[in-house]
Amino acid sequence: MTDAVEPLRILMGPGPSNCHPSVLQAMARPLLGHLDPDFLAIMDETQDLLRDVMKTANRLTFPVSGTGSAGMETCLCNLVEPGDPVLVCINGVFGTRMADIVERLDGKLHTIEAEWGKPFEPEQVREAVARTAPRVVAIVHAETSTGVLQPLQEISRIVHEADSLLLVDAVTSLGGCPVETDRWAIDALYSGTQKCLSCPPGLAPISLSPRALQTLEGRATKVRSWYLDMDMVKNYWGSQRSYHHTAPISMIYALNQALKVIVEEGLERRFKRHRLNHTALVAGLEAMGLSMLVDEEYRLPMLNAVCIPHGVDDAKVRRALLTEDNIEIGGGLGPLAGRIWRIGLMGHSSTRENVMLLLNGLERILKAEGAEIPTGGTEAAEEVYEDAS
């Protein structure tokens, strides 16, 4: 029996992103026991690296065993008790998921909504916080379903003036644009490994502030999830090293190496790279007559929501890119299904070469589909790169 060889895809969808080769090599290292002193040293180093990337001194900062959605559930189920008022800000799929979890926890759910593709205005949050007096305010920093980057600083001030906890989804933003956990006074932050950290999916880095930890330790009821109960899990990641569950050893090897790649590049250089490739991609798309869903001020550099031209078959174009150019991009979700493409420029996938390959392929395929688009997409992108050099 011959083992199947998977194609080397260029991953430019909403996640996962391509991994640096050293990250994949790290996963092939020999296994250690989850309480082996050498592995505990890797755990400590990984926590320190996460604090550097998350810009925090929070003691409780480590990866949860599970994908980004496990990080979402971890933060909510540890901070929300039955009857607690929780305000969830919904302007895409992932705000909707947070609301679902709050209801499953028997929290008292309050929601505010913004149009998909638009951010929340601080005054909208201020009014809702005054009206609902929430224990927790949950909001998405980088909404992967729409490509919106949500400003957080003013909202954080509003939340803390009301003595509430701020919970932030940074699944798509961490490692690709500034995430200032301490400076923005974020109480609970969660992310995922497979986006801008360019590590395989399977871990959810989280960070809880001293205020959040105090809330957790002062609960009147048990955390609804045994597996995600951070009051127990923190004792494995802390100095006690109390056994809770068998850690995913190889995934922690991978995250450790992925974080080292980020720190070696430097956060500011990394953010600049993502921004430059985003700017070049948008210039190329607009030169081809395509438009972006999100206003320029609020666009994610890592996740580009592109409006599909009228009469163009969404799935057919994506399938052609995959089969002819080996490039994966994503379609829209919910009310945006069939209306947008989601083009990821995340971590190791965010390169000049990938931008040019995508623009070339997309122009060729759209013309083959009969779309009347001008040429010049690659030239517009090249001009951006030349101006930046």
Is the pLDDT assigned to residue 4 strictly greater than 80?
A: no
CATH of 20-264, one of 3.40.190.10, 3.30.1360.70, 3.40.630.30, 3.40.640.10: 3.40.640.10
Decide if domain 266-388 falls under CATH 3.40.50.150. no
pLDDT: is 8 or 108 the higher one? 108
Mean pLDDT of 212-224: 97
The proportion of the chain whose per-residue pLDDT surpasses 90, expressed as a percent, equals 94
pLDDT of residue 124: 98
Which region among 158-162, 164-168, 232-236, 274-278 has the lowest average model confidence (pLDDT)? 232-236
- Overall average pLDDT of the 261-266 stretch: 98
Placement of tokens 């250690």 in the chain: 32
- Mean pLDDT within 30-49: 96
Q: Per-residue pLDDT tens for 165-176?
A: 999 999 999 999
| Residues 269-326: tens digit of each pLDDT | 999 999 999 999 999 999 999 999 999 999 999 999 999 999 999 999 999 999 999 9
Question: pLDDT for 322-381, tens place per residue?
Answer: 999 999 999 999 999 999 999 999 999 999 999 999 999 999 999 999 998 998 999 999
The pTM score is: 0.96
Looking at residues 20-29, what average pLDDT do you find? 97
Looking at residue 187, the DSSP 8-state letter turns out to be: S
Confidence (pLDDT) at 3:
59
Distance between CA atoms of 122 and 156, rounded to whole angstroms? 9
What band does 1 get if pLDDT is binned at 50, 70 and 90?
very low
Residues 6+ apart with CB under 8 A from 68: 171, 190, 191, 192, 193, 194, 195, 201, 204
| Average confidence (pLDDT) over 126-150 | 98
- What string of DSSP letters covers 153-182? HHHHHHHHHTTPEEEEE-TTTTTTS---TT
Q: Among 32-41, 171-180, 238-247, whose mean pLDDT is lowest?
A: 238-247
Residues 245 and 309 sit within 8 Å (Cβ to Cβ): no
pLDDT computed for residue 100 by the predictor: 98
pLDDT at 389 (0 to 100):
86
Domain boundaries, the chain: 20-264, 266-388
Residue 206 CB contacts under 8 Å (≥ 6 apart), including other chains: 60, 61, 62, 63, 64, 71, 74, 75, 188, 189, 190, 191, 230
On average, the pLDDT of the chain sits at 96
Q: Which percentage of the chain shows pLDDT scores above 70?
A: 98
Identify the pLDDT of residue 239. 87
Q: Same fold for the domain at 20-264 and the one at 266-388?
A: no
Q: How far apart are alpha carbons 88 and 159 in whole angstroms?
A: 12
Tell me the mean pLDDT in the region 200-228: 97
pLDDT per residue over 88-100, tens digit each? 999 999 999 999 9
Residue 190, pLDDT > 70, answer: yes
Across residues 97-119, what is the average pLDDT?
A: 98
